[in-house]
Amino acid sequence: MVRLALVDSGIEFCEKTGAVRITSDPVPSQKGVSTYDIDLPMDIEFSRVLAVWVGSRKIYTAPDVTVSDVRGVFPQEVPDTGAASYGVVIEPKALTLVPAPDQDDLPIIIRSTTRPSRNAKTLDDSLFDQWAEVIIHGALFRLCSTPGQSFSDSLLAGQSEARFYAAIGHAKIDANRGRVIGSIAVKPRPFA
């Protein structure tokens, strides 16, 4: 029960913050092949794809329905092979390029946020090293909220829930802005 609470807490934290990010190792393209398995560490899967590069060119990322709609409405715009225009992640560890590349050996690289898989036996070091206390509060909230157990405690559940969600807000800001100091000044621009 504790392991599942920790994993669920880690999944929710990663989904809501995007705090754990990876850049995949390059996978070589194959002419006419559109789907590529992306090697991710054990117990980890994609959460959100941030960017995809084919060769030195950054391509658009899109949901499958968008690519299907473009193919259905503008079939001439998306040929079967050519320079890849879209990257679509449908399966947890696979990327589909549309259209399929027309060259071999172009490096395909994905930058994405990740989350633990549902059956994870361990949590990623980068998640637990930096956010251990937050993940533990999320797990405590889940465990103490379980009705009818000897460890149920609504007061501790409420305190842990508040700490978990407050830390999610801070982690989301860190993930979006990076861990650098940015300017809070705004340069005025005239209306056109």
Report the SS3 class of residue 115: strand
* CA atoms 132, 134, 135, 136: torsion sign: positive
Whether residue 89 is predicted with pLDDT greater than 80 in this model: the reply is: no
**How sure is the predictor about 133, in pLDDT bands with cuts at 50, 70 and 90?**
very high
pLDDT of residue 99: 80
**How sure is the predictor about 78, in pLDDT bands with cuts at 50, 70 and 90?**
low
- Largest pairwise CA distance in the chain: 66
Q: Full-prediction pTM beyond 0.85? A: no
35-37 and 100-101 beta bridge pairing: unpaired
H or E element at residue 69: helix 64-73
Residue 46 phi/psi, 5° resolution? Answer: -65, 145
Give the pair of three-digit tokens for residue 139.
């797990």
**How sure is the predictor about 80, in pLDDT bands with cuts at 50, 70 and 90?**
low
Span 32-41, pLDDT tens digits: 888 888 888 8
Whether residue 166 is predicted with pLDDT greater than 90 in this model: the reply is: yes
Average pLDDT, the chain: 82
**How sure is the predictor about 82, in pLDDT bands with cuts at 50, 70 and 90?**
low
Helix then strand then coil, in percent of the chain rounded to 5, is 40, 25, 40
Report the SS3 class of residue 3: helix
Whether residue 66 is predicted with pLDDT greater than 60 in this model: the reply is: no
Report the SS3 class of residue 88: strand
Cis peptide upstream of residue 99 (ω within 30 degrees of 0): yes
Span 2-57, pLDDT tens digits: 889 999 999 999 999 988 888 988 999 999 888 888 888 888 888 888 888 998 88
pLDDT of residue 103: 87
